[in-house]
Amino acid sequence: MKQPTPSIASILIMVTTLLPSFSAAQGVLLAGDAESGASIYKDNCMSCHVDQFGGDGSSVMTRDPRIVNSIEGLMGQVARCNAMTSAGLDSDQEDDLVAYLNETWYHFE
Ligand code: HEC
């Protein structure tokens, strides 16, 4: 049996339905709220960094070399550290944490 080839029209529909979801996902990342991230960090993240790295725990974010070198790396590490907590933070809260950590320590574009 001959496989139906997708028509130009169906390809166009796919492209136009996919594009808005890409920009929406980007919007969510950029919409992370640093102020809310700060309190999520204090409540769920800081004590373990203090235990393991001393001081106020922030030396893990300023050490040289640090493991996070890009905004994507920061998102990945926040997700990994979230998995180590039993807090079960959702992706909005992870976005807030990324915004807070980036604004405070990483300053990625
Ligand atoms: C159970 C302990 C623990 C908890 C809880 C924890 N972390 Fe971490 N975090 C670590 C350790 C250990 C490292 C260093 C990992 C390494 O060197 O591979 C780290 C590293 C990091 C880094 C990377 C620092 C670098 O080198 O650039 C970030 C960012 C981070 N944590 C964010 C968070 C956030 C956000 C939370 C809260 C959701 C959190 N952590 C909760 C233990 C923890």
Nearest atom in ligand 1 to the alpha carbon of residue 78 is 35
pLDDT of residue 7: 66
Tokens of 98: 């990324």
pLDDT of residue 59: 96
pLDDT of residue 1: 67
Q: What is the pLDDT of residues 65-86, one digit of tens each?
A: 999 999 999 999 999 999 988 8
Please tell me the distance from the alpha carbon of residue 97 to that of residue 32, in angstroms, as a whole number: 7
The residue to mutate among 59, 60, 86, 107, having the most atoms of ligand 1 within 8 angstroms of its beta carbon, is: 60
Radius of gyration of the chain (CA): 19
Please tell me the distance from the alpha carbon of residue 12 to that of residue 8, in angstroms, as a whole number: 6
Distance, CA 34 to ligand 1 centroid (Å)? 17
Report which residue type is found at 84. Answer: M
Q: What is the pLDDT of residues 8-66, one digit of tens each?
A: 565 545 545 544 444 444 444 457 999 999 999 999 999 999 999 999 999 999 999 99
Number of neighbouring beta carbons within 10 Å of residue 57: 17
pLDDT of residue 3: 67
pLDDT of residue 87: 86
pLDDT of residue 14: 54
